[in-house]
Amino acid sequence: MNDRETPAAPTFPDVSEPPGGAPGRQGGRSLGLRDILRVGALVGLVCWGAWVTQSLVDGNRDHDRFVKLQLQSLIAEYLQAQARSGNGAAAAAQATTQFMGELDKAVAALGRSGHVVLVNEAVISGDIPDVTSAVKKAVYARVPVPEAASARPVREDMQSFMATGGPSAGRP
């Protein structure tokens, strides 16, 4: 071959019809509705099996979903502190109402974040994370802890009472 001659183009057999007969048919048989439903059911079964397997393998996923809260002790601790504070009845009631509102908000925030909050008494067994300290910290960040009243006035009263002779001073 010299540079001016072009090679002969390859020849291909005439393909006007796919092998096996008419177009869209394989081996002379078409896919029917029953075959399509079988394939769909098989795909659905495989997907369901994968989901069940993942749920069984990842069974620890609900471990962090449930949390426990020592609600009764948290409220009792606040009420005892409020009783020792020496605040008047109106001030104590207002502060307690504010405390309960903030406690409710903290528990609701846990629920919105996907947790199921159980009171400590409802948990009979199992290892469920305790969120009491986190809730306590969040509530006391917004509501101050009542401070105990000073014992000094009581001590002074007791000393003056004893100085006058105590309970037997007024008796014959």
DSSP readout, 47-58? HHHHHHHHHHHT
> Which regions of the chain are under pLDDT 70?
1-7, 9-10, 12-28, 55-63, 150-155, 166-172
Q: Which strand (E) or helix (H) includes residue 141?
A: helix 132-142
Q: What is the predicted pLDDT for the residue at 127?
A: 83
Neighbours of 94 (CB within 10 A): 12
Q: What is the predicted pLDDT for the residue at 133?
A: 92
Angle made by CA atoms 57, 58, 59, in degrees to the nearest 5: 95
Q: How far apart are CA 71 and CA 118, in angstroms?
A: 9
Q: How far apart are CA 39 and CA 45, in angstroms?
A: 10
From the list 22, 15, 118, 33, the residue with the least C-alpha distance to 69 is 118
Cα–Cα distances (Å) from 89 to 20, 85, 116, in that order, read 96, 11, 35
- Which residues have a Cβ under 8 Å from the Cβ of 100 and sit 6 or more positions away? 75
Contact 98, 141 (CB under 8 A): no
Q: What is the predicted pLDDT for the residue at 19?
A: 57
Quick one: tokens of 3? 């540079």
Quick one: tokens of 113? 């974040």
CATH architecture type of domain 62-148: 2-Layer Sandwich (3.30)
Q: How far apart are CA 78 and CA 70, in angstroms?
A: 13
Q: What is the predicted pLDDT for the residue at 99?
A: 92
